[in-house]
Amino acid sequence: MSVENIDSVLNEERLFEPAAIFKADARISSADTLATMRHHANEDYTGFWAEQARSEISWHQPFSTVLDKSHAPHYQWFSDGLMNVSYNCLDRHLETKGNHTAIVFEGEQGDIRTLTYHQLYADVCAFANALKAQGITKGDRIVIYMPMIPEAVIAMQACARIGAIHSVVFGGFSAESLKDRIEDAGARMLITADGGHRGGKIVELKAAADKALASGCATIEKVIVYQRTGHAIEFKEGRDLWWHDAIDCMDSICMPEWVEAEHPLFLLYTSGSTGKPKGIQHSSAGYLLGTITSMKWVFDIRDSDTFWCTADVGWVTGHSYVAYGPLAVGATILIYEGAPTVPNAGRFWDICQRHKVTIFYTAPTAIRALMKLGDEIPAQYDLSSLRLLGSVGEPINPEAWIWYHKTIGQERCPIVDTWWQTETGCIMIAPIPGAVATKPGSCTLPLPGIIADVVDENGNSINEPNKGGYLVIKKPWPSMLRTVWGDDERYIKTYWPKFGGKYYLAGDSARRDKDGYFWIMGRIDDVLNVSGHRLGTMEVESALVAHPRVAEAAVVGRPDEIKGEAIFAYVVLKGTRPAGGVDEVLTKELRAWVAEQIGPIAKPDDIRYSDNLPKTRSGKIMRRLLRTIAKGEEITQDTSTLENEAILLQLQGKV
Ligand code: WT7
């Protein structure tokens, strides 16, 4: 798709200056301070980041090289430095805030646990020793498939501590997806739980893990199982090991493994427009630095805060703003295991009230869903502890923004709309809440040191206000992805394909308004954004055609009030098309099938059967036409090249 013709229709003029009460003691409280930082960063971005890295990271051995471009676009930051991420998140706080709360945990069923930095340190060390006792060493890959409980963070931190590379797989992904990720990473170990509590039900993690392992995953030697639910599960002697047995007698001190700054901290799989999900590889020091600076600049974090990021650790947001960033700055985080509406629609606000949450960070899809339930629900709770609100995952529509601002933030809390990606590692474009006025729907301005731009097809900056173009990052930044695991070629092809390989191509289109504010307009590739989660249309198509009755499938997104985008699938069956295009039994079966192949988030919302898919003479599926139909809009495209124009009525569901 070309971005040249995208002109924005959204015209949001409201401007919200930082509230005086917030500004009064914000870390960065004036436009001047911010301008000075930006100026420094723009003049000398490597010098700027070197200073940040020296002051924010505790190094075992300081670095002398700041940025090594010799393998560009595989950039290396601080490469001769030695450090450890877990040391930076735990050990360095012990002396000054060992008794400070690190984690407040609430289970879906109401069980509450708190862990101080001392306790978290001891738990991480014991588990790290358990990993070592199982023969895990630096560089080994470990897949983590856990519910949203402190042990998920403990497992990640323990890996970081010994230099093992973790790959967290979201607990909502299926056995099939888990298997693909284990195999791609060549993982030696899987860490999981018997199950987790979500939506009033048990998520059968161990059962899914067993299924994945039964179908492949030859590299897995051991499975460590945390007992969360206590329900009956199968246990394979010799392979499976209970978490509590694994840590039994383990020392609660474990010296961190000093690793090179570039040592991979983790892989995280994310969808692209082609092929299987790619293992985004992140570094240790550069990644950590981005999470720290953004915690300070965007979230204005301090010791008195209780920071709640609602993301699951299975997504990058849960890595950067649950497992690493907040701990690296010694903050208190809240972790909630379950669904937002259990036992009732007030659960989130109830948690905010009881635990005096001060910073709340969630996704527009959740905001919209909670907004729909009405203002009376949040009105029943005392939300006066909140001081800052955040949004991430997709553009937030102005209506939801205003609701968030008024009903949840009570017009007191700035809203930080944060644009970033799995690949960028940390927040890239977002307001600095004490210094930047916000506009509903805009992620505002790039953070200091992030040289973002909107460019045309030829890589030239677009300076005309509100004209759409490609969102690019023009200079490397410390927390950027380093490569796609095992596939350098794909890394280069996906992220550096244009503009002479000089600019990082985010895959989003964007525009800038007259004040230079960025407005994200959507993806430029075949990637869907369902509830803030990325899914490749091709992934869903491959899942559908893997079903014995499906011959061909095409998947597009259509706008959805709550989810942002809903999945619309056009399916051609082997054999004849169901009469009138309706077969409810098969539709149900296909939806369940996709959930099993990928995970429930990938279930098509609509399935329409036709005799053929609309193709151009050269055989390309006419996706734009399919999108128009999915939206229920009038067809204005030229359909004369269609081999069989009669199928249009089938695609529209009219015959
Ligand atoms: C894609 C990245 C970053 C964590 C969650 C998603 C979209 C993300 C925003 C925002 C508009 C946004 C983009 C981006 N996106 N944040 N504030 N405004 N769009 O991570 O799965 O890697 O997806 O999410 O399209 O490219 P992800």
DSSP three-state, residue 85? helix
C-beta of residue 57 within 8 angstroms of C-beta of residue 83: yes
Orientation angle between helical segments 584-597 and 537-545, nearest 10 degrees:
120
The protein residue with its alpha carbon nearest to ligand 1, atom 5, reads: 393
Which residues form ligand 1's pocket by a CB distance below 6 Å?
Answer: 270, 316-317, 392-395, 417-422, 443, 506-508, 520, 523, 529, 532-534
259-260 vs 82-83, strand pairing mode: antiparallel
Sequence-distant (6+) residues with CB within 8 A of 320 are 287, 290, 291, 294, 425, 426, 427
> What would the pLDDT profile of 248-283 be if each residue is shown by its tens digit?
999 999 999 999 999 999 999 998 887 789 999 999
Give the Cα separation of 33 and 362 in Å (integer): 28
The protein residue with its alpha carbon nearest to ligand 1, atom 8, reads: 393
Ligand 1, closest atom to CA 527? 25
Residue 392 CA to ligand 1 centre (angstroms): 7
Which tokens sit at 577? 């098309």
C-beta of residue 233 within 8 angstroms of C-beta of residue 194: yes
Residue 365 CA to ligand 1 centre (angstroms): 12
C-beta of residue 327 within 8 angstroms of C-beta of residue 102: yes
Mean pLDDT by 10 residues, the chain (655 residues): 50 86 94 96 98 98 98 98 98 98 98 98 98 98 98 98 98 96 98 97 98 97 98 97 97 98 98 87 98 98 97 98 98 97 96 98 95 95 98 93 97 97 98 97 97 97 95 98 98 96 96 96 90 91 94 94 95 93 95 95 96 82 92 87 83 91
Q: For residue 440, is the peptide bond before it cis, meaning its omega torsion is within 30 degrees of 0? A: no
550-560 vs 564-573, strand pairing mode: antiparallel
DSSP tag of 500: G
Which tokens sit at 403? 């609701």
Most ligand 1 atoms within 8 A of CB, residue of 168, 420, 511 to mutate: 420
DSSP three-state, residue 489? helix
Per-residue pLDDT at 261: 98
Which tokens sit at 496? 């550096």
Give the Cα separation of 281 and 316 in Å (integer): 12
Residue 556 CA to ligand 1 centre (angstroms): 18
Most ligand 1 atoms within 8 A of CB, residue of 280, 394, 438, 526 to mutate: 394
Residue 229 CA to ligand 1 centre (angstroms): 33
Per-residue pLDDT at 3: 52
Give the Cα separation of 557 and 569 in Å (integer): 9
Per-residue pLDDT at 638: 81
Give the Cα separation of 174 and 472 in Å (integer): 33
Per-residue pLDDT at 5: 46
Most ligand 1 atoms within 8 A of CB, residue of 534, 535, 539 to mutate: 534
Per-residue pLDDT at 1: 41
Ligand 1, closest atom to CA 419? 17
Sequence-distant (6+) residues with CB within 8 A of 367 are 391, 396, 400, 403, 404
> What would the pLDDT profile of 100-130 be if each residue is shown by its tens digit?
999 999 999 999 999 999 999 999 999 999 9
The H or E element containing residue 627 is: helix 623-630
The protein residue with its alpha carbon nearest to ligand 1, atom 14, reads: 421
Residue 283 CA to ligand 1 centre (angstroms): 20
Radius of gyration over every alpha carbon of the chain, rounded to an integer in angstroms: 24
**Short-list 217, 182, 388, 229, CA closest to 297:** 388
Q: For residue 343, is the peptide bond before it cis, meaning its omega torsion is within 30 degrees of 0? A: yes
The protein residue with its alpha carbon nearest to ligand 1, atom 20, reads: 421
Ligand 1, closest atom to CA 533? 21
The protein residue with its alpha carbon nearest to ligand 1, atom 21, reads: 534
Q: What share of the chain is helix, strand, coil (3-state, %, to 5)?
A: 30, 25, 45
Please report, as a single letter, which amino acid is at residue 247: I
Residue with tokens 């994945």: 212
Residue 329 CA to ligand 1 centre (angstroms): 24
The protein residue with its alpha carbon nearest to ligand 1, atom 17, reads: 419
Most ligand 1 atoms within 8 A of CB, residue of 392, 470, 509, 565 to mutate: 392
Report the 10 Å Cβ neighbour count for 613: 19
C-beta of residue 199 within 8 angstroms of C-beta of residue 340: no
Give the Cα separation of 520 and 11 in Å (integer): 13
Most ligand 1 atoms within 8 A of CB, residue of 396, 479, 529, 539 to mutate: 529
Most ligand 1 atoms within 8 A of CB, residue of 439, 472, 520, 525 to mutate: 520
Per-residue pLDDT at 599: 94
The protein residue with its alpha carbon nearest to ligand 1, atom 19, reads: 394
Per-residue pLDDT at 427: 98
Give the Cα separation of 404 and 333 in Å (integer): 21
Per-residue pLDDT at 2: 46
